[in-house]
Structures are given as C-alpha cells and as structure tokens.
Structure 1
Amino acid sequence: MMDILRTPDECFENLPGYGFAPHYTTILDDDGTEIRIHHVDEGPRDAEPILLMHGNPSWAYLYRKMIPGLLQSGRRVIAVDLVGCGRSDKPARKQYYTLARHMDWMKKWLLANDLRNITLFCQDWGGTIGLHLVAKFPERFDRVIASNTGVPTGKGGNRYLDIWLAVMRWMPSFPWKIAFKNTIQCEEFNQAKFDAYRKAPFPARRYQAGILQFPQLIAIHPDNPGVPLNEETWAGLKQFHKPFLTLFGSRDPVSRGFEKIFQKHVPGARGQAHKIIRGGGHFIQEDKPEELVAEILPFLEVHQSTEAASDPA
C-alpha cells in the first residue's frame, strides 16, 4: 500500500478570492490504499454538470474566477483536484504516480459521483486525463471544451517540452517561479495568490511528489508507458461526434498546435467556433477567465437548443 500525505485544512483558510466549500470522495486504489479526492461543487445538485479539470501544478483555485460566471448557465459547476494536487490526497513517493494510475483514480472518482450529461472543460493534464474519461465513457459527456492541452502519442514534442522533461528529471523541488509565476499574464497576480498555489497545497517539499513526477508522464517519446493509454484516448475521440470546442491561448508555448490536431481528428470539432484567445498564457484560466466564460456560455446555449430541438419528447 502507498504512503499518503494529506495537507492540513488550515493551509487553505483565507485564500484570496476563494470561498468555496470542500467536498470529498474516497476511492480505493488497486493496491487497497484509500485516496481522498477533493472537488468544488456549486450550483443546483440536480442540474447538468460542468466539470472543470486543471493541470500541473495547479488545483481548483485556478477556476475561482470562472465558477461564478459559469453558474449563470444554471448548471452545476464542479472543479476537481487531481490526486497529488490541491486538497486531494498526495501519495508520498514519485514512483507511485503513473499515467495509468491517474486515469484509474479519476475513472473511480467519476463513477463514484455518477456524473452524467457532463460538459467538460479541461486544460493541461486535466485534458490528457479528462479526455481519457470522455473516450472511455462517451455516454456520460454531452460536450467538451479543450484548452491548452494535448494527448501525445510518442511522436515527439516541441522544444519547450523537451527542455521541461530534461530539467524536471532531477529537480528536488518544483521550480515555482520559473515554471508557474513567470508564465502568468494577469497583471493582478500577486504574492498572496501565488502562495495559494504554492504554499497552501504544498506546505513542505515532501508534499510535491505528484507535481514533480508529472513531467515524466508526458508521452512524447515512443517508449513512454503512457503512449498506449493515449492511443486508447484517441481511438475514442475519433468516434466522438458530440460538440467539441478548442479555446487555446496565444501565449502558451506548451500546447501550441495541439488545437489543430483536435480540430482535424475529433468529429465533434468540425464546424465549431474555435478560438485562439489573445494574451492567454498556459494557465489561461488565471489570465483570461472572463474571455473563456464569454465563449463557453454561448457554446452551451447553442448546443442545448440543438439537443432540445432534436429530442422527440
């Protein structure tokens, strides 16, 4: 069984701009370890859910400025913390984290919460993992918005990713200033908000195993164990005919070009109002939350109307 760390609740008190109550689901790893996964859950419980999935090294705090706007749709809004991040439990050793395990943990969380008629908004690892859920359970997802993410299958990356993987292989702690703070384009991003990402979930270096291991799970090389899993994801996405929208940032060096791959290969992406959001960096939810919401709400309304019109009832 795995050794598990849990960030104390008091670390999350009085975070700027964040007043959402925590919700928890306990799942069981295949080795028998209990893992508690956190999510924000706002809006009517019987409404169709918008599921927000983040990447590395962020957590649900990344969506704090989008959640109020998305609630205007009348939907339930859920922002989940990946295992090893935010308020979710943190297996204590890097070798505990594999792409297969991340996908399995989130499958178990999804089924435990029995979410259906989902609109998925996913970014970074939230896309790689979240889109695997779409591929495995397409009947549970009504539509998808992909932002600054990709599903690599061992065919190489870009210069940024090559450097990122090489550097992170030996880093004893996450390079927060270089790899996170310096990428934020929002002028209002101050030290208190930075600490909500860095210090709140990770009060000591020993909590960082998950975010340190994530770069090694990026399947840009053909021998990466995640390649077959991502190929499974693509097999499902190539059969996904429901609405699929891409909203990428113009200033993101990590995922540049992946939006064109989605648009080319996902049937549901054809004819959608895809957009490159000017000035949006990799953590676009921090940089351009209002612009994202302004694109998402019409996307929900258009396709809700289409679905209602096609419903024989």
Structure 2
Amino acid sequence: MAAWRRLYPFASRELLIDGLRCHYVDEGRGRPLLLVHGNPTWSFYWRSLLNGLSDAYRLVAPDQIGCGLSEKPPRSRYPYTLRRRINDLCRLIEQLDLNSITLVAHDWGGAVGMGAAVEMPERFERFVLMNTAAFPAQRCPWRIRVCRTPLLGPLAVQGLNLFARAALVMATARRAGLPPDVRDGLLAPYDSWRHRAAIYHFVRDIPLSPRHESYAALARIASRLRQFENRPFCFFWGMRDWCFTPWFLDQWLARFPRAVVHRFDDAGHYVLEDASERVVPALRAFLQSEQPGNAAIEPKPAASP
C-alpha cells in the first residue's frame, strides 16, 4: 500500500452525474458539511477535517469531475467550465438530499460552491471559505497566466505536471516543505497527460475579462452573494498566499463584515496543510456557535515548521 493511502483511509463512494462517475467521501453523521476542493487538489486535501470533525458532523467531500478519483473525461465529453461544475455540485446535492449545508470551500471550490448556493439557497446554512474567490477579479499571477497559453500551457501542465508539482512548494509556507506522503497523495490521481486535463482546464477557465465564457457565470454569483449577508460566514486565510492574496479576503469582508475571520500569518495557499491543527478546533467552535461573529478573530501565529 502506498504511504499516502494511510492518510486517506476513507470509504470510497460513487454516483453518476450526467453519465459521468463522481467519486466522493461521506463520513460521520449529523448536519452536513459539503467540502469542495479547488485546483490542483482533490478530496485528499480535506483529510484533516474528515478525521477531526466526523464525530459530530456528516462530511461529504466530492472529487470534481476530472479530479481525484472521479472519472476523467476528455474535453469532447465534458466542457470543464464553471457553469458545468456548478451543475455537477447541484446534482450531487440533490442525489444525496443534503439540507442545512455548511459549505466548506477552498480555491476554485469557492466559486463552484457559492455558485451552487446561489442556485439552491434554501439548502445552505453556513459558509466556511479558505483562500478563494467567487467574484470577478483581473488579478492573476504571471505564473498562472503562463499556464493558460495554448501551446506552453498543455505542455507544462499536462505534459510535465509543473502546475501540481509547483504547488507542492509554492502553496505551502512550511520551510521544510510538505512531507513525502502528503506530496504523493496530492499528486497521486494526476499521473498522466490525460489524467491532468482538469488541472489545465481549471486554469484556462479563470475568467479574466467579460469576453471569457465563464465570466457571466462568475458575475452572476457575485451579484447574488448579498442574499447570504445574514448567514454565518467564517474565513480561514493563509496570509502568505501569492495567488489568493489578502486582497481577496478584503473583498469578501467588504461583503460580509460580520464574518468570523482567522488569519494565519505563517500559512500559504494550502492553509489546511500548514495550519490544520489550528483550523480544525476553530472550525468546530464556529459550527457550535449559533450566531455569526461580530468581530474578527485573530489566532496567534505559530512558527512555521
């Protein structure tokens, strides 16, 4: 058995979404937490929450189509667009009949998850967001812009796996880097050109201008966020994120000023890899509270490992 599998001992489940196999983990009982990953991760990223909160809550962690252990169709069978991913998540919610959902989302999972919430707001109760966005922004690091180019992008992302491999170093603030079994786990499903199609198309689907095919979908989400202003929000933010920088957190707080906020000065984009031992108890406390916070909560930064 590969070492990373010992970190991911959860039972695999599957359902069909428009004829495509969607893998998900479903652990614990209680009010549901819907964990929506981004790019280039998968449900493995949520293992600390799956282990740490399943005693009191039901945690549902799907692998988005093309990611993790889900089916990885070619572009000819699946468009890899924001609108389609929102539709996929809505279908999963309906099939599992999830209600009173706490959305927990990271990276591009924020746009997908909030997109589903906009489509079915009656099913969502609370929101926990980590280094993410769900509104248009033209801020895009040059490293990611390079990966969007038609020729170099597929070669670098799908051929050489540079996007996922670079994230192992650049998305963490750990001086020693991620442990080998964690690195292997994050990379495991993305072992060939074909299996890395979603990573490339996620990058290509970032809408940086109104001309992009996913811009309208993202703008629609942003225009409907205000309907949740009286719902509890909690943000966990790695402040050393060079992609979803603190500027994005400020944009969220302008919309939801009563949110509970946890800023981690010693964590990067992969905030759960850098600070899970602090995130899990803080998240449990938020879930046990009955009212949204009225002031930001600032954890004391710990030294980076």
* Shared fold per TM-score greater than 0.5: yes
2:53 corresponds to 1:70: yes
Distance (whole Å) between structure 1 residues aligned to residue 221 and residue 292 of structure 2: 28
2:56 corresponds to 1:56: no
Would the aligned equivalents of 2:36 and 2:106 in 1 still touch at CA under 8 Å? yes
Distance (whole Å) between structure 2 residues aligned to residue 302 and residue 111 of structure 1: 27
Cα deviation, residue 220, structure 1: 2.1
Cα deviation, residue 193, structure 1: 2.2
Q: 1:81 aligns to what?
A: 63
When normalised by structure 2's length, the TM-score is 0.85
Would the aligned equivalents of 1:181 and 1:194 in 2 still touch at CA under 8 Å? no
Secondary structure at the residue paired with 1:26?
strand
Q: 2:143 aligns to what?
A: 163
Cα deviation, residue 305, structure 1: 11
Q: Which residue among 179, 195, 198 is the counterpart of 1:210? A: 198
One-letter amino acid of the structure 1 residue matched with residue 7 of structure 2: G
Distance (whole Å) between structure 2 residues aligned to residue 291 and residue 220 of structure 1: 34
Q: 1:42 aligns to what?
A: 27
Deviates more, 1:94-103 or 1:54-63: 94-103
Q: Which residue among 7, 12, 15 is the counterpart of 1:25? A: 15
Would the aligned equivalents of 2:233 and 2:260 in 1 still touch at CA under 8 Å? no
Would the aligned equivalents of 2:68 and 2:189 in 1 still touch at CA under 8 Å? yes
Q: 1:5 aligns to what?
A: none
CA distances 1:224-281 after superposition (whole Å, capped 9, x unpaired): 111111121122211112111221111111111111111112xxx3323212112111
Q: Kindly tell me: are residues 214 and 63 of structure 1, through their superposed partners in 2, closer, same or farther at Cα, counting changes over 3 Å?
A: same
One-letter amino acid of the structure 2 residue matched with residue 273 of structure 1: V
Cα deviation, residue 184, structure 1: 2.5
Distance (whole Å) between structure 1 residues aligned to residue 72 and residue 178 of structure 2: 26
CA distances 1:197-240 after superposition (whole Å, capped 9, x unpaired): 21x21232211111111111112222111111112112221111
Secondary structure at the residue paired with 1:238?
helix
Q: 1:254 aligns to what?
A: 243
Distance (whole Å) between structure 1 residues aligned to residue 135 and residue 220 of structure 2: 11
Distance (whole Å) between structure 2 residues aligned to residue 259 and residue 298 of structure 1: 21
Deviates more, 1:269-278 or 1:253-262: 269-278
Greater length-normalized contact order (CA 8 Å, ≥ 6 residues apart): 1
Distance (whole Å) between structure 1 residues aligned to residue 234 and residue 172 of structure 2: 23
Cα deviation, residue 108, structure 1: 1.3
Q: Kindly tell me: are residues 272 and 99 of structure 1, through their superposed partners in 2, closer, same or farther at Cα, counting changes over 3 Å?
A: closer
Q: Which runs of 5+ in 1 are unaligned?
A: 1-9, 29-33, 307-313
Distance (whole Å) between structure 2 residues aligned to residue 13 and residue 84 of structure 1: 23
Deviates more, 1:167-176 or 1:245-254: 167-176
Q: Which residue among 129, 132, 139 is the counterpart of 2:112? A: 129
When normalised by structure 1's length, the TM-score is 0.83
Q: RMSD over aligned Cα, in angstroms? A: 2.2
Distance (whole Å) between structure 2 residues aligned to residue 139 and residue 209 of structure 1: 34
